[in-house]
Structure 1
Amino acid sequence: MDTRTKPLLPMVLAAALSWTNSAAAQNVTDGRFDDRITGDWGGARTQLSQRGLDMSLAYINEWLHNTSGGERDATACADQFALAFDADLDTMLGWRGASFHVLVTNRNGPQLDARAGLGTLLETHEIYGRGHYTRLTRFYLQQALFDDRLVLKLGRSDVDFFPLSCEFINISFCGALPGYHSNGWYTWPIGQYFANATFRPTARTYVKVGANDVNPRNLEGDQSLRLRTPHDDNDGVLANLEAGWLPVLAGRLDGAYRVGAWRNSVDQPDLLLDTQRQPVPVTGGDPLMRTRSDGWYAMAQQALWTNGTGRSLTMFANLSKSDPDVDRVDQVASIGLWLHAPFARRPHDRLGFAVGQNRVSAQARESERLSNTATGTDGALPHKETPVEVNYQFAIARGLWLMPSVQHVRNPGGRDENNDALVWGLKLSAMF
Structure 2
Amino acid sequence: MPLPIRHAPTALLLALASSTAMADGEPLYSGAMTGDWGGLRHQLEEDGVRFTGDYTGETAYNANGGLRRSTRYSQNIKLGVQFDLSKLYGWENGGRVQLTINDRRGNSASEDLVGNRLPIQENYGGLYTRLTELSYERTLFTPALNVKLGYMAMGNDLGGLDSGILCNFMNAGFCGHPLNMSGGSGWTNYPNAHLGARVKYDLSRSWQLRVAAFNVDPQSNGNSSRAWHLGPKHTTGTVLPVELVYKPQGELPGEYKLGYYYDSSDVKRIGSSKEVSGRSGHYLLAEQAVWNDAGSPGRSLHVFGQYSASSEAASPFTKWYGAGVVLYKPFEGRPRDTVALGYGRAVPNPRSRDLLEDAAFNAGQPFPNIDNAERLIELSYGYQATPWLILRPDVQYIIEPGAFSGKDIDNALVFGLQVKATF
TM-score normalized by the length of structure 1? 0.85
Query: What is residue 37 of structure 1 aligned with on the other side?
Result: 33
Work out whether residues 77 and 103 of structure 2, in 8 Å CA contact, stay in contact via their aligned partners in 1.
Answer: yes
Matching residue's letter, 1:104: I
Gap regions ≥5 residues in structure 1: 1-23, 274-286
Query: What is residue 349 of structure 1 aligned with on the other side?
Result: 337
2:384 counterpart SS class: strand
Query: What is residue 386 of structure 1 aligned with on the other side?
Result: 375
Q: Percent identity between the aligned chains?
A: 28
Report the CA distance between 1:146 and its aligned residue.
4.1
2:55 counterpart (52, 56, 59): 59
- Summarize the alignment of residues 364-383 of structure 1 with structure 2, pairs less than 5 Å apart: 364-379=352-367, 380=369, 383=372
- Summarize the alignment of residues 19-168 of structure 1 with structure 2, pairs less than 5 Å apart: 33-97=29-93, 98-116=95-113, 118-130=114-126, 132-159=127-154, 160-164=157-161, 165=164, 166-168=167-169
Instruction: Write the deviation string for residues 293-351 of structure 1: whole angstroms up to 9, x where unpaired.
Output: 11111000111112251111111111111111111111111101111110001111111
Query: What is residue 191 of structure 1 aligned with on the other side?
Result: 193
Query: What is residue 334 of structure 1 aligned with on the other side?
Result: 322
Work out whether residues 183 and 317 of structure 2, in 8 Å CA contact, stay in contact via their aligned partners in 1.
Answer: yes
Work out whether residues 370 and 400 of structure 2, in 8 Å CA contact, stay in contact via their aligned partners in 1.
Answer: no
Distance 1:258 1:337 in 2: 18
Distance 1:227 1:190 in 2: 11
Instruction: Write the deviation string for residues 232-268 of structure 1: whole angstroms up to 9, x where unpaired.
Output: 42111111110100112xx221210001011112222
Which of 168-177 and 36-45 deviates more? 36-45
1:378 counterpart SS class: coil
1:222 counterpart SS class: helix
Report the CA distance between 1:180 and its aligned residue.
4.5
Distance 2:253 2:80 in 1: 27
- Summarize the alignment of residues 401-412 of structure 1 with structure 2, pairs less than 5 Å apart: 401-412=390-401
Distance 1:29 1:92 in 2: 29
Query: What is residue 223 of structure 1 aligned with on the other side?
Result: 226
Distance 2:231 2:177 in 1: 24
Query: What is residue 13 of structure 1 aligned with on the other side?
Result: none
Matched, 1:294 2:294: no
Distance 1:43 1:201 in 2: 40
Work out whether residues 168 and 382 of structure 2, in 8 Å CA contact, stay in contact via their aligned partners in 1.
Answer: no
Work out whether residues 360 and 382 of structure 1, in 8 Å CA contact, stay in contact via their aligned partners in 2.
Answer: no
Report the CA distance between 1:225 and its aligned residue.
2.9
Report the CA distance between 1:289 and its aligned residue.
1.3
Query: What is residue 16 of structure 2 aligned with on the other side?
Result: none
Which of 374-383 and 309-318 deviates more? 374-383
Query: What is residue 7 of structure 2 aligned with on the other side?
Result: none
Distance 1:91 1:225 in 2: 28
Distance 2:190 2:172 in 1: 12
Gap regions ≥5 residues in structure 2: 1-20
Report the CA distance between 1:369 and its aligned residue.
3.5
Matching residue's letter, 2:235: N
Report the CA distance between 1:270 and its aligned residue.
1.1
Report the CA distance between 1:113 and its aligned residue.
1.4
Report the CA distance between 1:71 and its aligned residue.
2.0
Distance 1:261 1:43 in 2: 46
Matching residue's letter, 2:402: G
**Runs ≥4 in structure 1, deviation > 6 angstroms?**
28-32
Matching residue's letter, 1:388: I
Distance 1:109 1:264 in 2: 32
Work out whether residues 365 and 382 of structure 1, in 8 Å CA contact, stay in contact via their aligned partners in 2.
Answer: no
Report the CA distance between 1:416 and its aligned residue.
8.5
Instruction: Write the deviation string for residues 338-386 of structure 1: whole angstroms up to 9, x where unpaired.
Output: 1111000111111111010000112222333344444443323651011
Work out whether residues 346 and 374 of structure 2, in 8 Å CA contact, stay in contact via their aligned partners in 1.
Answer: yes
Which of 335-344 and 218-227 deviates more? 218-227
Aligned positions, number:
389
Distance 1:127 1:34 in 2: 25
